[in-house]
Amino acid sequence: MIYEVFRQERKGQAFQHAGSIEAPDEKFAESYAREQYGRRGESTALWIAPREALHPIEDFVDELNRNYHRVDGYPLKEKLKEARERAGTAKPGEAG
Amino acid sequence: MSAPAPRSPEKPDDRSRAGAVEGEGGNREVPPLDLLGGAEANLEEEGGTWGKHGFPHGSEPKVSDERGRLLLEIADDELVLGWRDSEWTGIAPFLEEDVAFSSIAQNEIGHARALYELAAQELGTTADELAFDRQPDEYRCCELVELRLPEWERTIARHVLYEEADEARLAKLKESDDSELASLAGKIDREEVYHRMHAQMWADRLKDEPRFVAALEELRPLVDRRDGHTPDLTELWEQMTEVRRSQPAGTTW
Amino acid sequence: MAREDEFLEYVQSGSQVEVDDWMPDEYRARLRKFIEMHGNSELMGVLPEREWILRAPTLQRKLALTAKVQDEVGHAQLIYRVVEDLGKPREQCLEDLISGKSKFHNVFHYPTKTWGDVGVIAWLVDAAAIISQKALLKCSYAPYARIMKKICWEESFHILHGRDVVLTLMLGTDDQRELVQEALNRWWGPLMQFHGNPITPDEDPMYVWRIKSQGNDEARQQFLDGYVPQIWELGLTVPDPELRKDEETGRWHYTEPDWDELMNVVTGHGPKTEDRLDLRRKARENSAWVRSVLLAA
């Protein structure tokens, strides 16, 4: 069976996918993951999971440009310039 | 330039190179005695065949004291077992197991080193000298660890039996009044947790396998048998000390 | 054809693909073969060094050498996993290796005769290998690029260990110094052949598809630039009277390696090829029962 291994390099960091190992069961997988991904003290912690337990999701759809909930949906430069002019607080170089 | 014919391993090269270890058949046999310093190597005088090496006669570490004896016993067990276990590095039944078992072998050598270092302080020598420069019959390891076991079922059977016996031994040592020894025993014990896990894992898998059961039966009587050594130890020692013996004692490698 | 052109542009611009992405058949086939050869090489590279694990002359060297060989087995594991995810099972790879159907790098077909070899191999062969491996860090196939990162990180101590062994010998007895020179004399030829024949990058499919990011000659020049000065500064001689650096162009000149010998060796006719494949075959046969017990869930 193939097991995927995730490792945390230092406490507080996110677990990242490190690789995969082949093992007959969970006990062996634990033993092997420890050695392959931790024998040099390069990880503080590991997670292992059988490959079938993981489900890839890769198709993200955004046909109609949903920028209302993103920062790039809010270009405020022009409006700000106008508002400053109206209030008489236009910055030098902004007039016109 | 024409392609040279592949070199025949049968053709002996100049044998007088230090550390050259091809025997007559091109195999890793014991090098001919003349490699090791000519007539000296054949001397039957006191100090033995390898008189040039090892401790000058009469100054061997006095291991009659309890502590020194005990340290060497455990250290020699771990050294020889580690050496045997390291024979699997590169050729274990499959890759993941190869990596895991190699760590176990390295840990065992590491334990031996720590124990030799403790003994060395007391005996006025170095860990390497204790590990390599004694005669085979001066080692205090049990017969179980000496055997060359090229079959996986016998290697695992030994692993299981040794871990069991060693756990009991370490438990006693951790209670020792000797604080240095107790502390080192504690450290070693914590590393051995992984070894025990690994041994148990395999024992569970192989418990119904006839050859494994047979191996356990075969090897169990050898646990803690320390009344002599097998020819396997001499063979191992010769291999282990080959390079070292090719140069005078005290040479740095 | 258009899709393949797009793919070519995509990888040549530095982008990467994952295991389930579309790839041209030719790319996939070449990629898998290349990676498989790498795995084979790690596995075969273990055998020459293994003999010395059992003969290491100090506890430190014993530990270091065992750890080094362990790393190489670990690398084989990482690499064969990648090949398996590309469609070729590990068992099939191992069978093809043992039967001689697939190849492994030239250097692992030669004997190791002395402790001097141990130092020279760990220092210079690993150095040559690291140069190739660094060039794979940017491989267009992402899973391979990722394992190369782990591999390069683990290799870093191998070279230091090798150099330490060599330096210790060079500071030792005359016999010990001679061990190094003699080993270097034997290994120089295979080292010069290691990076492959002088095919230009544009003619090298591995480079075109950005599986490798470096041509063979460039790798060799990098090796010479980095390591010849290190060799010379110890008072060692390189057994090539033509070897010199052209200070104007910055390029090293050397006697053209024997490319016939290289071809002959990698097609299975090296001095130790048979012996080593035989050892692998026997080890595999003896442990076949273990694998079947473990697979019977």
**Residue-level pLDDT at C49:** 92
Q: How many CB pairs under 8 A join A and B?
A: 28
Per the structure, the count of domains in chain C is 1
Is the CB of residue B55 less than 8 Å away from at least one CB of chain C? no
Joined together, the tokens standing for residue C11 give: 């990888």
Place C295 in a pLDDT band, splitting at 50, 70 and 90.
Answer: confident
Nearest CA in chain A to C143: A19
- pLDDT 10s per residue in chain B (253 long)? 444 444 444 334 444 344 444 443 333 333 333 333 333 333 333 333 333 455 544 445 555 578 888 999 999 999 999 999 999 999 999 999 999 999 999 999 999 999 999 999 988 999 999 999 999 999 999 999 999 999 999 999 999 999 999 999 999 999 999 999 999 999 999 999 999 999 999 999 999 999 999 999 999 999 978 989 999 999 999 999 999 999 998 899 9
Is the CB of residue B246 less than 8 Å away from at least one CB of chain C? yes
Q: How far is A53 from chain B (nearest CA, A)?
A: 21
Q: What is the average pLDDT value for chain A, to the nearest integer?
A: 92
Residue A20: give its domain's CATH number: 3.10.20.520
Helix %, strand %, coil % for chain C, to 5? 70, 0, 30
Is the CB of residue C271 less than 8 Å away from at least one CB of chain B? yes
Is the CB of residue A25 less than 8 Å away from at least one CB of chain C? yes
Nearest CA in chain C to A17: C146
Does residue A10 lie in a domain region? Answer: yes
Q: How far is C1 from B234, CA to CA, in rounded Å?
A: 68
Q: How far is C225 from C287, CA to CA, in rounded Å?
A: 44
- Domain interval for residue C70: 2-295
Per the structure, the count of domains in chain A is 1
Does residue B99 lie in a domain region? Answer: yes
Q: How far is B250 from C105, CA to CA, in rounded Å?
A: 38
Residues B48 and B76 grouped into a single domain? no
Nearest CA in chain B to C91: B94
Nearest CA in chain A to B196: A31
Per the structure, the count of domains in chain B is 2
**Residue-level pLDDT at C113:** 95
**Residue-level pLDDT at B66:** 83
The answer to whether the CB atoms of C51 and B28 lie below 8 A apart is: yes
Is the CB of residue C34 less than 8 Å away from at least one CB of chain B? no
Is the CB of residue A27 less than 8 Å away from at least one CB of chain B? yes
Residues of chain B contacting residue C58, judged by C-beta atoms under 8 Å apart: 128, 132, 244, 253
Provide mean pLDDT across the span A11-33: 96
pLDDT above 60 (res A15): yes
The residue type found at B128 is D
- Domain interval for residue A39: 2-53
Residues of chain C contacting residue A39, judged by C-beta atoms under 8 Å apart: 70
Q: Which residue has the tokens 């310093």?
A: B37
Residue pLDDT, tens place only, C277-289: 999 999 999 999 9
Does residue B77 lie in a domain region? Answer: yes
Does residue A65 lie in a domain region? Answer: no
- Nearest to C242, CA basis, from C253, C257, C229: C253
Phi-psi region of B53 (alpha: psi -120 to 50; beta: other; left: phi over 0): beta
- Nearest to C73, CA basis, from C45, C93, C53, C96: C45
Q: What is the average pLDDT value for chain C, to the nearest integer?
A: 95
Is the CB of residue B207 less than 8 Å away from at least one CB of chain A? no
- Domain interval for residue B72: 66-234
Residue B24 backbone dihedrals phi, psi, to 5 degrees: -60, -40
- Nearest to C80, CA basis, from C47, C41, C28, C129: C41
Does residue B251 lie in a domain region? Answer: no
Q: Report which secondary-structure segment, H or E, holds C235.
A: none
**Residue-level pLDDT at B55:** 55
Please provide the DSSP assignment of C35-54 as one string: HHHHHHHHHHHHHHHHHHHT
Contact C116, C180 (CB under 8 A): yes
- Nearest to C240, CA basis, from C284, C188, C282, C202: C188
Residue that finishes a domain, picked among B22, B53, B84:
B53
**Residue-level pLDDT at B220:** 96
End-to-end CA distance of chain A: 70
Is the CB of residue C168 less than 8 Å away from at least one CB of chain B? yes
Distant-in-sequence, close-in-space partners of C72: CB < 8 Å, separation ≥ 6: B90, C42, C43, C45, C46, C49
Residue C271: give its domain's CATH number: 1.20.1260.10
Residue pLDDT, tens place only, C7-42: 999 999 999 999 999 999 999 999 999 999 999 999
Residues B32 and B89 grouped into a single domain? no
Paired strand residues for A2: A22
Residues B49 and B102 grouped into a single domain? no
- Nearest to B124, CA basis, from B57, B68, B185: B68
Residues B137 and B203 grouped into a single domain? yes
Does residue B246 lie in a domain region? Answer: no
Place C270 in a pLDDT band, splitting at 50, 70 and 90.
Answer: very high
Residues B49 and B70 grouped into a single domain? no
The answer to whether the CB atoms of B3 and C172 lie below 8 A apart is: no
Nearest CA in chain C to B105: C66
SS3 A13: coil
Instruction: Return the minimum-mean-pLDDT range out of B56-65, C90-99, C128-137.
Output: B56-65
Does residue B249 lie in a domain region? Answer: no
Residue A16 backbone dihedrals phi, psi, to 5 degrees: -125, 150
**Residue-level pLDDT at C276:** 93
The three-state (H, E, C) secondary structure of B81-147, written as one string: HHHHHHCCCCCCCCHHHHHHHHHHHHHHHHHHHHHHHHHHHHHCCCHHHHHHCCCHHHCCCCHHHHC
Provide mean pLDDT across the span C252-276: 93
The residue type found at B146 is E
